[in-house]
Structure 1
């Protein structure tokens, strides 16, 4: 299911501060993902050597993602399967990677490494995707106080959504607006766009771009040295 943004349906005079109702919906976004258990995702990662696209799923209860990576340009060398958690990234190189990751991961051929804290737009994007789920709503009042804003309305997959930016990070000044959310009427996120360090284009995470398939564990992987 492709994500469709209809530009001619955009409306709004943003940015402006969130209303209390909008703040409440933004505060529910991460909890809606957790409440759903898991979401199908397409993660688009920018890069000077070419774009990477991860098509798969994130289990927000178990904090694990799984999918297939496709690259353009020099990044085609990264094609293959991937499964990630907050503490590990497991990759299964495949020169002819399928359009969708198999529901049951291969039994062998996996390599394990720790996620890179800096210098990897892919690892940053994977971490962001995992972080978009929480077991309780965020504090709506703090979102408004720290600079969250409303920018307008669009349609995503036929549903009218509000476009909002997140608040400033408590440990970095001037970060309000680095994260943009496309939020439905019940607080469900349909798209998240994040500005990442050293990348000219943002990371984009689209939800429900294809049917959700529950994430199964990957067999024992060989550590990458």
Structure 2
């Protein structure tokens, strides 16, 4: 998953500077908060040179599976429909007139299965990013500042006062500090994440609690493999 530094619109103001102890602690638990909640309602905005996509649905952070409905933005409806995904596979159910919200129970037929692509697809990269925003344990708060995590400013998301913080360098790639920005509340709740993927000029944006959370149910007989 390729990523580049995010700058500009909606990033908060005042930074960057080193994280305080409280900020580091909140950033350290923000993915664990998602796991504790079991699942979160998400809206994933996916960029594209031929028009974007928007996935409205839910992610179960304990079972590592997501489910929702896809709508094109500034493009035709050929990609519209239902979607369920895991870290390794994607199930799609094309629909000409996709609903605003995915039905609580997935249809029993009309699904197509394919592997989740690790590169070359902004949609699949976005789905993988969304799944990765939950963890069964907190991160090490002491190591975050040492590895480049920083505070960039204050902001508001749907009435919630948040701090905008960039994550540290990844374990796999040194020098990647700042690639991901998190909008984190006073209790460590994650409200928004932005990250660029591949060669897209606009970032993937994942907003939380944009609608009511609906538990993710498996597609009958076609549950994605983990």
TM-score (norm 2): 0.91
Q: Where does structure 1 lack aligned partners over 5 or more consecutive residues?
A: 1-9
Shift of 1:12: 4.7
In the TM superposition, residue 33 of structure 1 has moved relative to its aligned partner by 0.1
- Contact 1:46-1:202 within 8 A present in 2 as well: yes
* Residue of structure 2 in register with 1:197 after alignment: 198
| Structure-to-structure mapping, 1:162-181, within 5 angstroms | 162-181=163-182
2:26 is matched with which residue? 25
Question: How large is the Cα RMSD of the aligned pairs?
Answer: 1.8
- Alpha-carbon spacing, 1:11–1:181, altered in 2? closer, same or farther (3 Å): closer
Give the structure-1-normalised TM-score: 0.91
Q: Is the 8 A contact 1:109 1:221 kept in 2?
A: no
Kindly state the Cα deviation for residue 174 of structure 1 after the two structures are TM-superposed: 3.2
Q: Provide, for residues 15-35 of structure 1, a one-character-per-residue CA deviation record: whole Å limited to 9, x for no partner.
A: 001011100000001000000
CA distance in 1, matches of 2:147, 2:76: 37
1:205 Cα deviation from its structure 2 partner: 0.3
Judging by fraction of residues, say which structure has more helix. Answer: 1
Which residue of the partner structure matches residue 44 of structure 1? 45
Query: 1:221 deviation in Å?
Result: 4.2
Structure 1 contact 13–151 (Cα < 8 Å) conserved: yes
Q: 1:78-100 CA deviation, whole Å, 9 max, x = no partner?
A: 10000001121000000110000
Report 1:146-165 matches (<5 A): 146-165=147-166
Does the CA contact (< 8 Å) of 2:12 and 2:164 recur in 1? no
Give the number of aligned pairs: 215
Give ranges in structure 2 of 5+ residues lacking alignment. 1-10
- CA drift of 1:117 comes to 1.0
